[in-house]
Structure 1
Amino acid sequence: MFTKIVVALALVALAASAPSQPAYGYTPQPTYETPAKYDFNYAVKDDYSGNDFGHQEARDGYDTQGSYYVLLPDGRLQKVAYTVNGDSGYVAEVSYEGEAEYPEYKPAYNPAPAYKPAPAYKPTPAYA
């Protein structure tokens, strides 16, 4: 009987010493009370492939301002400047630099065929 009481007390002591939260490092969800604040930019200019584009953006709370640009296939540079302020939504202003150029199409892999008149055939009698 004495051993049963000792085992029961040991189990109660073990249960009382168990942690109240799981042992795998649970942390409560973060609260996002501070407004977002960041600033970033990047640019790519590759003369070999003709790529030219970039983006920059700055945010402080609910006020966001930024711009991006890209070189279009027709040679113009398209620029977009935008703002987002609270519930106003995305407001963009698009502009272009340069003139569109459309060079004459010359396929390099399939040159224009040289047309020749069809050969004249001399009809042969059906029953010779």
Structure 2
Amino acid sequence: MKFFILEALIAVAAADSYRSAEYEPTYVAPVAPRYEAPQYQAASYGAVNYDTAEPYEFGYSVKDAETYADFDHSEKSDGKVTTGSYRVQLPDGRTQIVTYKADSYGYTADVKYEGETKYPEYVQSKYNSYSAPAYSAPAYKAAPAFSAPAYRAPEYSAPAYNAPAYDAPAY
């Protein structure tokens, strides 16, 4: 009991010295974020002039007996005038040769054909008529036969309802 009284006195003494903080609430506007410009140097590349044409020369040729591919192409330029030619074997047996020139006046092409058109001779088919294929009945075992499943239908008894019984009221 003495302990309880001592604790109560300490609590009263501590509560007497407690005072709430007295201040006026103030509002300060938030500071707007400030961003500095990025500090970097842009890459410096030399100016590329795509208008000047460089002299060049190339050529290729394909002759494949297995696929009957037969063509070639060659071209040459001095920077101002481009000349070239290409040749291709056409399916009808002729060879098409195109010689061209491209300069400040435009594109000029000269097209020539060599050889004569060759068409394959018509060959009558070895088979004179078509007969529909004859199929025999498939040879497989018939699917196994299963009897219908046997089960008993469920049996339910009539629902049993027990009505509550109350005593007659007494007056």
Normalization by structure 2: what TM-score? 0.47
Which residue identity is paired with 2:42? Q
The match for 2:70 is 52
Which residue identity is paired with 2:62? V
2:107 matches 1:90: yes
Structure 1, unmatched stretches of 5+, are: 1-14, 115-128
Q: Give the strand-richer structure, 1 or 2.
A: 1
Q: Which of the residues 1, 4, 21 maps onto 2:42?
A: 21
Q: Which of the residues 76, 79, 98 maps onto 1:61?
A: 79
Q: Which of the residues 108, 123, 129 maps onto 1:113?
A: 129
1:80 and 1:107 mapped to 2: Cα distance? 38
Normalization by structure 1: what TM-score? 0.61
Q: CA deviation at 1:106?
A: 4.5
1:67 and 1:33 mapped to 2: Cα distance? 24
2:46 and 2:63 mapped to 1: Cα distance? 45
Q: CA deviation at 1:105?
A: 4.1
2:127 and 2:106 mapped to 1: Cα distance? 52
2:93 matches 1:75: yes
Q: Which of the residues 41, 58, 67 maps onto 1:40?
A: 58
Secondary structure of 2:60's match? strand
Higher relative contact order (CA 8 A, sep 6+): 1
- Matched residue pairs, number? 94
Quick one: structure 1 residues 112 and 82, their matched pair in 2 at CA, closer, same or farther if it must change by over 3 Å? farther
Q: CA deviation at 1:28?
A: 4.2
Which residue identity is paired with 1:99? E
Q: Give the helix-richer structure, 1 or 2.
A: 1
1:33 and 1:101 mapped to 2: Cα distance? 47
RMSD (CA atoms): 2.8
1:99 and 1:42 mapped to 2: Cα distance? 25
